[in-house]
Amino acid sequence: MSDPAIEAEVERQLAVLRAGTVEFYGEDDLRARLEVGLREDRPLRVKLGMDPSSPDLHLGHTITLNLLRRFQELGHVPIFLIGDFTARIGDPSGKKKTRPALTTEEVECNARTYVDQVRVVLDVESAEIRFNSEWMDALSPTDFVRLCSQQTVARLLERDDFAKRYSAGEPIAVHEFLYPFVQAYDSVALEADVELGGTDQTFNLLMGREIQRHYGQAPQAVMTVPLLVGTDGSEKMSKSLGNSIALLDAPEDIYGKVMSVSDECMHDYIEILGAGDWPALAGDSASVQSNEGSPMRLKQALARAVVERLAGADSARAAQAHFEKVVRSRDIPDEIPEHALPVDATAQLGLLVVLEATGLTKSRGEARRLVQQGAIQLDGERVTDPALYLSAGSYLLKAGKRRFARVILG
């Protein structure tokens, strides 16, 4: 016998969860599971996997994380899966060539940072944090071969990226074919009711439905979200492409990077990152696209919203004030990190060494590139010589538009 209250709650939840999604596979099955779950007080198990292929998560990752958070807020069980096993294979999704596999040491190093980064969006204390090496390292070779026997090479070549590479005569390593099977088996091991991912993961996500059927489980629902374009306005956001906004960037850097995106990207950011959470911004975006309102004010509001989501309202206000003072007014901030570096009175220290030591750059290689690009200032003057040496004394260094450091040599 139907219960109107339960049916209404199911439709309410589905409406909340659909916001911002591109595709929703298995929606009718999920509706039935929600009804049963509400009757029996059994929450859904919702899986989101990310491979620790780099140490930093970025703003693009928050799209699926926010969807996972919405499931969490509705009372379901969020499962954040760190793909420490799959990272050793390398996800071929969207790649034009074989992706280098990482070593176990590289994977473990990257994975250590993920929980703290995810914490800015998700309540990790009430979430399941899992690693797929738990079951994949224990899977016997025989069982793994049996898993892979569930699909044909022809089926795998239906994947868009594989099909393009095969047609172009580009090599496809055999281990790349294994990735979708591992991701699918993760859903079996976790008994997932739902899996979330970007549109570039659709093939892998749907493979999970097929493999679950083989193991006698009801197939998971699949919800995909759009991909976020990077700050360059052309490629998908990626640290390797240098167009990303990292979750652990300083709030003023996040604010400044959002302000640097094009007006066209700004509207996409509001739609994709907002996903129904920023109705006022969505309305202002529509007005600006109709040639009403100020694009600059809209971008400022977007930058505030992004920083507030990741670091809180106080950090958002401070980041905006910093941007106004340092970037737009070209003033020097009131508080500048100070670094004392030892050097003899008659000795000198290379500029690249100083930039790395102060943290203005992550490496001397990055320091060299910024100097060659004219992005480094020394006491207000642009520096173009990467071979410059500094004598004992006090210097004000500036990298890019927003980063300052005062260094005392001596």
**139 & 52 share domain:** yes
Report the alpha-carbon distance of residue 406 to residue 144 in Å, rounded: 57
**260 & 209 share domain:** no
3-class DSSP state of 198: strand
Helix (H) or strand (E) holding 190: helix 174-190
| pLDDT of 35 higher than 70 | yes
Percent of the chain with pLDDT over 90: 52
**42 & 164 share domain:** yes
* Residue scoring higher pLDDT (45 or 113): 45
Report the alpha-carbon distance of residue 203 to residue 206 in Å, rounded: 5
Helix (H) or strand (E) holding 111: helix 104-111
Q: What is the model's pLDDT at position 373? A: 84
CA dihedral 142, 147, 149, 152 (to 10 degrees): -150
Place of tokens 């971008």: 299
Question: Comparing 76-85, 90-99, 248-257, 259-268, which segment has the lowest mean pLDDT?
Answer: 90-99
Report the alpha-carbon distance of residue 377 to residue 158 in Å, rounded: 52
**313 & 344 share domain:** no
In a domain, 191, yes or no: yes
**38 & 171 share domain:** yes
| pLDDT of 99 higher than 70 | no
**293 & 404 share domain:** no
Task: Report the pLDDT averaged over residues 159-164.
Answer: 82
- The Cβ of residue 138 has, within 10 Å, a number of other Cβ atoms equal to 9
Any idea what DSSP says for residue 229? Answer: B
**213 & 347 share domain:** no
Answer for the pair 378, 351: CB distance below 8 angstroms, yes or no.
Answer: yes
**223 & 150 share domain:** yes
Helix %, strand %, coil % for the chain, to 5? 50, 15, 35
Domain boundary residue, one of 282, 303, 328: 328
Q: What CATH code is carried by the domain that includes residue 63?
A: 3.40.50.620
Q: Please provide the DSSP assignment of 278-297 as one string.
A: -HHHHHHHHHHHTT-S-HHH
* Count of structural domains within the chain: 3
In a domain, 26, yes or no: yes
| pLDDT of 18 higher than 70 | yes
| Half-sphere exposure at residue 19, Cβ-oriented, CA atoms within 13 angstroms | 20
| pLDDT of 96 higher than 60 | no
| pLDDT of 162 higher than 90 | no
In a domain, 91, yes or no: yes
Indicate yes or no: pTM above 0.85.
no
In a domain, 243, yes or no: no
Q: What is the model's pLDDT at position 113? A: 86
**55 & 124 share domain:** yes
| pLDDT of 327 higher than 80 | no
- The Cβ of residue 141 has, within 10 Å, a number of other Cβ atoms equal to 7
**206 & 254 share domain:** no
In a domain, 235, yes or no: no
Angle, nearest 10°, between helix axes 295-311 and 251-259? 150
Q: What is the model's pLDDT at position 139? A: 93
Q: What is the model's pLDDT at position 97? A: 54
**261 & 144 share domain:** no
Mind listing the pLDDT tens digit for each residue in 58-76? 999 999 999 999 999 999 9
Q: What CATH code is carried by the domain that includes residue 375?
A: 3.10.290.10
Domain containing 377: what range? Answer: 338-409
| pLDDT of 214 higher than 80 | yes
Question: Comparing 64-73, 128-137, 158-167, which segment has the lowest mean pLDDT?
Answer: 158-167
Place of tokens 């109107």: 4
In a domain, 315, yes or no: yes
3-class DSSP state of 80: strand
| pLDDT of 238 higher than 90 | no
Which pLDDT band holds residue 320 (cuts at 50, 70, 90)?
very high
**316 & 369 share domain:** no
CA dihedral 229, 234, 239, 243 (to 10 degrees): -90
In a domain, 238, yes or no: no
In a domain, 234, yes or no: no
Domain boundary residue, one of 173, 198, 228: 228
Domain boundary residue, one of 168, 195, 228: 228
